[in-house]
Amino acid sequence: MYHPRQRGFTLVELLVVIAIVAVLASLLLPVLARSREQARKATCTNNLSQFHKALTLFDQNSEHLRENYPDRLTYLATGSETGVGAKFVPEDRLFQCPSDESRGSQGGKPPKATNQFTELDEGPGMGEAGDPKCASNAPYCSYMYEFSGAECSWWSSSMLKGGHTQDDVDYDQNGTVTWHEAKFYQLENGDSFMLSNYPRTWFPILRCFWHTKRPESDLEQEVFNLAIDGNFFQSGAKWEVIADANNPNN
C-alpha cells in the first residue's frame, strides 16, 4: 500500500514563523509592561489613600491643639520606636510602592535622585543619627514622609517671613527644627513660590518617586503626592510648581 510522504516545515518556513513571533512579541511586550505599570500605579494610589485615613485617625486620637502626626510614618504600624503601641496600618505591604523593586530598603527616593533626604528614609536601622528611630520590627518604607520628626536639613532662618523668629517655627522649643515644624510653617506662611499660605489640597504629606524615570525633573509629571487634606495629585520633583499653578489666589 502506498503511503504518501508527509511534508514537514522547511528551514525557510521555520525562520519566517520565528520572525513573525519575534515581531509580535516586540509589539506586545511594551504594551504588557505599560499595563503592569498602570496596575502598580493604581496600587500605589490606593496605598496613599489608606495612609490618609490612618494619619487622620492618628490625629483624632491625639490631644494636641494643632494637627498631630507620628514622628515616623512607620509608627502607624509599630506604635512607636519600641514597636509597642497602637497600630493604625494593618499591613506592612502598604508601606512599599509596587514599582520600588527594593521594597523600601533604599529609602524614600531612588538612588539616581541626586537630592536625597536620607533623614526621611524609614525602616530598621535607617534614618540619620539623632532623629526619631524606627522600631526594629518596622517595615521598610518606599514613601517620602514630609511631616517626619527628623531634623529638617533644608531649613534656614532666611526662610522666616513677616518678622517671625526661629521660635515661631520650633514650637516645641527644643532648638531643632524638624520636618514636621518646617512643613507647618511653609503651609501656613508660604515661601519663595507662594507668598501666602499654601492651599491644603496641593500641599503634600506623602510623596512617591518610584514611578518617574527622572526623579529630579519637573518636565516629567510622574511623582505621586498625597496632600494633607487627602487630595491625590501628580507633579514633577518640585511639587510647589503645581501648587502655585493651582493657587486660587492667583
| CA 150 to mean position of chain CA atoms | 16
Quick check: helix, strand or coil at residue 226? strand
| CB atoms closer than 10 angstroms to residue 19 | 10
| CB atoms closer than 10 angstroms to residue 132 | 19
pTM of the prediction? 0.84
> Which pLDDT belongs to residue 62?
75
Q: Largest Cα–Cα distance of the chain, in whole Å?
A: 109
> Which pLDDT belongs to residue 184?
94
- Angular region, 28: left φ>0, alpha ψ -120 to 50, beta rest: alpha
> Which pLDDT belongs to residue 21?
80
Domain-wise residue ranges, the chain: 13-245
What is d(CA 19, CA 85) in angstroms, rounded to the nearest whole number? 61
| Residues lower than pLDDT 70 in the chain | 1-9, 28-34, 63-65, 249-250
What is d(CA 22, CA 29) in angstroms, rounded to the nearest whole number? 10
What are 71-109's pLDDT values in tens digits?
999 999 999 999 888 889 989 999 999 999 999 998 888
> Which pLDDT belongs to residue 5?
57
| CA 15 to mean position of chain CA atoms | 48
